């Protein structure tokens, strides 16, 4: 299948046809991972375990940073 990009504001968008979305079981709320090797794009729906990791809440992330960088943060605060 060959697709063209569509103008969307100041950006370009790729429109995915409904049969492709249904085949991959994705919708407008599904996070999509975009990667490149410098020559091609790869689009993949984010799996549940990866999605769960990305949804680590702010308090957990802050606690982790404070535990692992306490000394550096103290020096920066001085």
- pLDDT tens by residue, 13-48: 999 999 999 998 889 988 888 999 999 999 988 876
- Domain span including residue 72: 47-78
Asked whether residue 15 falls in the same domain as residue 39, the answer is: yes
Asked whether residue 4 falls in the same domain as residue 32, the answer is: yes
- Taken in order 56, 58, 64, 68, is the CA torsion positive or negative? positive
Contact 56, 50 (CB under 8 A): no
The pLDDT, as a whole number, for residue 31 is 86
51 CB-near residues (< 8 Å, 6+ apart): 31
* pLDDT confidence band for 5 (50 / 70 / 90): very high
Average pLDDT, the chain: 86
9: left (phi over 0), alpha (psi -120 to 50) or beta: left
**Among the listed residues 14, 55, 7, the one whose alpha carbon sits nearest the alpha carbon of residue 31:** 55
Asked whether residue 42 falls in the same domain as residue 53, the answer is: no
Q: What is the CATH number of the domain that holds 23?
A: 2.10.260.10
The pLDDT, as a whole number, for residue 14 is 94
Q: What is the pTM of this model?
A: 0.53
């Amino acid at each position: 299948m060959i697709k063209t990009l569509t103008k969307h504001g100041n950006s370009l968008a790729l429109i995915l046809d409904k049969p492709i979305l249904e085949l991959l079981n994705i919708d407008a709320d599904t996070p999509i991972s975009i990667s490149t090797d410098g020559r091609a794009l790869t689009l993949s729906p984010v799996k549940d375990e990866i999605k769960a990791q990305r949804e680590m809440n702010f308090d957990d992330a802050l606690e982790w940073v404070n535990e692992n960088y306490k000394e550096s943060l103290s020096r920066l605060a001085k």
